[in-house]
Every structure is written in C-alpha cells, then in structure tokens.
Amino acid sequence: MNMAGLTDRPVGDADEERGVVRDASGHPTGVLLEAAMQIAARAVLARIPVEEKLSMLQSASRYLNSFGITSVVNASGDLAEIKLYATLRDRGALTVRTRTAFGAVAVQHHLTPQFLADLEEARRRYHDDWVSADLVKFFADGSTGLVPPSCMCRRTTMRWSWHSTSAVIS
C-alpha cells in the first residue's frame, strides 16, 4: 500500500476511492475493488523497466504458443502497452498477434485531449497483422461499479462488431 501511495487520506479520483476498502477508522485494508485496482497497477508498472516488461511479454507470448495460441485480444489496454507489442514486433520477437482496445476494469473514460491523442496515434500507427488497435470496449450493465467479493451477480456484456451493425447481448 505504501508503494501505491495509499494512506488514510482519500484518493484524488472519486471512482478509485470508492473501490478502496477501508476499516472503521478509515485505514485502507489492502483490498482494492474495481477502479481502485488501477492504483496498484500504476504503482507496479512505474517501477518495472521497459526491457523487463518486454522480456515478460515475450515469455508470456512463448508460453501461449506452447498451447497453440497464436493471437490474443486485450480489452483493457492502452497506448503504452501497444507500443511494447510493437517493439517486440519490430525486433522480430512477437510470437502472438495482438488486438488491443483502450479500456480498464470499471474505470470511466474521460475524453481528455491526451486520451483522444492516444487513440488517434494508435489508430494511425497500429493496424497490421501483428499489432492492431482497432477495437472499442463498452460496458452496459447497470451496476453501481462495486460488487462485493462475496456476491455472485450476473452481469450483462454488450459486444459490438465493427463489421456489422448489430450488437450481441450476453
């Protein structure tokens, strides 16, 4: 929690703060739900050198290949992650085809100038057989955004295909 900067003070982002489980005294317990998981993800990713991230992705790709998996779809990526895949592709070391949508678990997107610039860069630069950023992720489930760990609830997910005008609700 120290590495992620979690203290007794509320987190600046209200969506993330809602997912920080705190005890009766307001101290974080270490349990992070939904959007609050981004706090830990940012803290960890900021401390891993790029070459180590590339090595981890290359190892994961080879592991997937050992099961015959040759392509993956990531519904919660970002431009930094796509650039990692592209670096491996450019080095001839990417062994799975990747399609990445911008998104994160339970995080509301804000169409900031930076977010839109990242989308445009991804659209412009990454559209080949190995690294592609031509997906969009949507949620339509009516949830409050917080699902207690002990609650098993059915969620509805809508999938949209760029190649059709219909949505599939499951």
The reported pLDDT for the residue numbered 37 is 85
DSSP 11: P
Rounded to a whole number of angstroms, the CA Rg of the chain reads 18
Whole-structure pTM value = 0.70
Q: Could you read off the pLDDT of 28-57 as tens digits, one per residue?
A: 998 988 888 888 888 888 899 999 999 999
Q: Could you read off the pLDDT of 103-160 as tens digits, one per residue?
A: 765 666 677 888 889 989 998 999 999 999 977 776 555 555 555 554 444 444 444 4
In contact, 93 and 55? CB cutoff 8 Å: no
**Taking the chain, what is the end-to-end CA distance rounded to the nearest angstrom?**
36
DSSP of 40-83: HHHHHHHHS-HHHHHHHHHHHHHHHHTTT--EEEEEEE-HHHHH
The reported pLDDT for the residue numbered 146 is 55
